[in-house]
Structure 1
């Protein structure tokens, strides 16, 4: 957790674009992504995240930043403290934190291998979107090419379930460009170079959304 003075979500993004001026071409999309994720969390909805290879690791990383404190202290609600005391006869532990509910679809090893073996490997993320997803949730679909087949299928199911799709890709037009409500196309095309920008992009989105919910002011 950052011990420096807290920033609002707007300040987080302003600092990001100052540090990564090449990303100004994606400013509209990044602000839209932040708004969509903040809105979902503010309505008690969740974020689903998927990707392959390095993007699978990124999916796990995103969830790690959202499900526990990142830069802000996240106190549990007063209502929960009361409910915990009534249920257990003691105060809630001080280490319990407010969470922004996010699920990495790459983590479900038994389900993914069973579904891939018994049904179709291309559907391992789509099946989870169908099972976990609810109207008002958001899917963060990470693909350096924007054409990863299992990520594309997940986006298709999300659209059918009324789930907003935010895609994080490289610079080229892709299948996810057409499917996503918001597509952040970082201005690079080599896989590892795309991934180098994906990390600060999702870091600042996590920071801005956390500030919106726990410490700062949304736009």
Structure 2
């Protein structure tokens, strides 16, 4: 007989698979992933860059995306231009002087250029600092790609492309799909730039 721990493990994995399956079964999500990758490739080819931001676990996902673009993913290739918004000094400086809701928008104002892409990550779609970053990006002619969850929140309405994980429970379940999307983007970007194929 399986133990309660084993039941918990199987239940968690089953729920994760169901959320991913639901997301994957929506053809608009598949197309949106591809279009978002196209936008990022266009930015790179035009000497632009990808910027990414989020809070907490979403900050870590943004960091993960950026480090695999500037470093490597599955195999060696040239570094790709990507910037994580919000190093510790910037966060504490802007948070102290202007307020936490401005920590990402100030970075967009400082670093963003027309033709860049902002990947804005918020599992609720309502993180004030992420929304302000999206606003600043729009003002500068920067495309906004939103990674969000639940009903998409305000971010889904602001983004040029919004990928919404339709799950009303804990944020970690949404983040599990977000990291899959991020890995797909890297693979698609590398493929379109001619560095790799999509072989497993």
- Shorter-chain TM-score category? 0.7 to 0.9
Question: What does residue 73 of structure 2 align with?
Answer: 70
List structure 1 runs of 4+ shifted beyond 4 angstroms: none
* TM superposition shift of 1:64: 1.2
Q: Which has the higher contact order (CA 8 A, sep 6+)?
A: 1
Question: What does residue 6 of structure 2 align with?
Answer: none
Question: What does residue 24 of structure 1 align with?
Answer: 25
CA contact (8 A) 1:72 1:215 kept: no
CA contact (8 A) 1:115 1:121 kept: yes
* TM superposition shift of 1:111: 1.6
CA contact (8 A) 1:66 1:210 kept: no
Separation (CA, whole Å) in 1 of partners of 2:177 and 2:21: 12
In structure 1, stretches of 5+ residues that fail to align are 1-19, 75-97
Question: What does residue 42 of structure 2 align with?
Answer: 39
Question: What does residue 115 of structure 1 align with?
Answer: 94
Root-mean-square deviation (Å): 1.4
Question: What does residue 172 of structure 2 align with?
Answer: 192
Is 1:103 aligned with 2:83? yes
In structure 2, stretches of 5+ residues that fail to align are 1-19
Residues matched between the structures, number: 174
Separation (CA, whole Å) in 1 of partners of 2:188 and 2:167: 23
- TM-score by length of structure 2 reads 0.82
* TM superposition shift of 1:104: 0.7
Is 1:205 aligned with 2:182? no
